[in-house]
Structure 1
């Protein structure tokens, strides 16, 4: 209990500051497994992230297990996500829908930044070493709490290869 109290005391100022000063951009580098939260053109926080099981390349269709690449918006939050908390990425955009239509496929959707399922607690070290989502961007639940506090909607997100 003492450690929990200490952790909360240390974390509270950072979360309070984050809530007052939200970030204005989220940048993801898929090849590096890196997500950065940006405020006033400065990186304020970086996270190791994992993606879908087929991470290379831009998402084209539902079920391809790829994370989209491009400029999107974090447009709404789900506090009751099955993967702890989640923040929605506005994929597909108009270009993605047009590409999918040309190919005759469903572009998919429901791309999120999210934590892990409650029943998977204790497996974070393993889950952060392998790409396991269906195309989403995954972090630990503790990291998701930080991101949740610092990202307000809408916020732009740029996802690079």
Structure 2
């Protein structure tokens, strides 16, 4: 019986490792808010006012100012929420930001343009992506290793404040 249990444990370990399981368990304090300071290229995961983790980030290729239109290369500014999770992201793992909100859509529409969308916090660049800082199309990028932590710690509905 012990042999069967030992073999089952080894097989379970093998299958877990071979599946490329990216996400781990997190049992620390709840992340109640994310703050991104674009000017400093920093992101903070907070529990109340306590900083749990901080990360250096890359932004959209035109980092100054608030995202207004599809293709402008800007990272949105303002208050949003984490509204989706993508374990199969082209950028390793990703969590979605609720841009555009109603005001973003109305402003772009008034200008005769689309607001864009698909804004995420995601892992690092792929080989085909541009080198250097601020390479995304408007997303917030961290390393793949950091993205594992973020993906594990942050829940749907978490508020994200993106500051200039």
TM > 0.5 fold call = yes
Match of 1:27 among 35, 42, 62: 35
- Aligned structure 1 segments of 4 or more residues deviating by more than 4 angstroms: none
Alpha-carbon RMSD: 1.8
Instruction: Quote the offset at 1:21 in angstroms.
Output: 2.8
Determine if contact 1:19/1:149 at 8 Å carries over to the other structure. Answer: no
Determine if contact 1:26/1:36 at 8 Å carries over to the other structure. Answer: yes
Instruction: Quote the offset at 1:20 in angstroms.
Output: 4.7
Instruction: Quote the offset at 1:116 in angstroms.
Output: 2.4
Equivalence for 2:62: 54
- SS of structure 2 residue aligned to 1:97: helix
- SS of structure 1 residue aligned to 2:88: strand
Q: Does 2:150 align with 1:142?
A: no
Give the Cα–Cα distance (whole angstroms) in 2 for the partners of residues 43 and 76 of structure 1.
23
Instruction: Quote the offset at 1:149 in angstroms.
Output: 1.1
Q: TM-score, normalised by structure 1?
A: 0.82
Equivalence for 1:8: none
Q: Could you list the runs of 5+ residues in structure 1 that have no partner in the other structure? A: 1-14
Instruction: Quote the offset at 1:40 in angstroms.
Output: 2.0
Match of 1:38 among 28, 42, 46: 46
Between Structure 1 and Structure 2, the one with more helix by share is 1
